[in-house]
Amino acid sequence: MEHVKKTLPGLLVCLLLAIPCWFLGHAFPVIGGPVFAILAGMVVAMIIGSRAVLQPGIAFTSKKILQYAVILLGFGLNLSEIAKVGLLSLPIICTTITVSLLIAFFLRKYLKMPNNISVLVGVGSSICGGSAIAATAPVIGADDEEIAQSISVIFLFNILAALFFPTLGGILGMSNEGFGLFAGTAINDTSSVTAAAATWDTLHGTGGAVLNYATIVKLTRTLAIIPITLALAFWRTWQVKRGSTVSNGSFQLKKIFPFFILFFVLASIITTVATVSGVDAAFFQPFKELSKFFIILAMAAIGLNTNLVKLVKTGGKPIFMGACCWFGITCASLIMQHLEGLL
């Protein structure tokens, strides 16, 4: 009961910020609710000054609620979707993800950037933007400012992709299928994939066919969250174990390994088995929507814990890394399409 009293004030403030941001995200999907929530949190943090009374609730929301969001996110991942897309998109998806992660890895050393921001920008760029960052952040133990910075970088290039990719596709003479594949593999956030594909449909009168195909490709790409978060979880566990004095009992697996990731994987397996067995995919829609709201709720808390001035001062290197990842993913997608005879 005492824990509830301590966390309730901060949780309520986050909730008050998250609700309007949820609706703003629906009104402006290219920007998205999480970005609105982070910005709102940072603005409120500058206004209210001391957050001592709110801090327990803010900390609970930014950590635990984010973990619950990741678990619920699993209900939106149907593993059988890979079969629907076919082998055509998988080589391109694997190549773009690999290129982005390698760019982030090498630039981290060259730019001397913090490990966590490098991982979050690399994963966010290569897989599915904010959702990938939300899933990865608690696994690697990223703090709120690192999450906010990574989300901001991803948001910037989401906007650019949604605005310019339909024009770029037209200049390159892409087919409808080619652009759907391009949008699904080269744009990192689902909202921006949807915006770009819908724009193409409108310009070329394809009746939503490109949007449907790009969405399936994007969903397949999103499945990479599972192996990557699992790999990062085991890597972090190994790193901590190696740096601990195991002989004196200082290492405890249950305190280090992010077990919520296993529930995330279980949720995706349940969804896959259920849909294959005939359960309507719409049954899982409420879980997906709740996951999105929880992410917005957690991002509001992260915004409240973020120093806006410091974020602006230290933003140059992450933006440069994000630009390099974005350029690398775009080139890799186009090259792979050319090699497969689609461009």
- What is the amino acid identity at position 316? G
| pLDDT tens readout for residues 50-99 | 777 888 898 888 878 888 887 888 887 777 766 666 567 788 888 988 99
pTM, rounded to two decimals: 0.75
> How distant, in Å, are the alpha carbons of 138, 146, 229, 232, 248 from that of 251?
19, 26, 21, 18, 8
What the block records as the tokens of 172 is: 């390159």
The predicted model gives 169-173 an average pLDDT of 89
24-39 burial: b if 16+ Cβ within 10 Å, else e: bbeeebbbbbbbbbbb
- Give dist(CA 170, CA 182) in Å, integer: 12
Q: Please give the pLDDT value at position 120.
A: 92
What the block records as the tokens of 20 is: 């309007």
Average pLDDT, the chain: 82
Is residue 79 packed enough to be buried (19+ CB in 10 Å), middle (13-18) or exposed (0-12)? middle
Whether the Cβ atoms of residue 182 and residue 338 lie closer than 8 Å to each other: no
- Give dist(CA 188, CA 135) in Å, integer: 14
Is residue 109 packed enough to be buried (19+ CB in 10 Å), middle (13-18) or exposed (0-12)? exposed
Whether the Cβ atoms of residue 58 and residue 51 lie closer than 8 Å to each other: yes
Dihedral angle, C-alpha 43, 47, 50, 51, nearest 10 °: -40
**pLDDT: which is higher, 181 or 130:** 181
Share of the chain above pLDDT 70, in %: 90
Q: Please give the pLDDT value at position 311.
A: 67
| pLDDT tens readout for residues 272-327 | 899 888 888 789 889 888 988 998 898 888 888 877 676 667 678 888 999 999 99
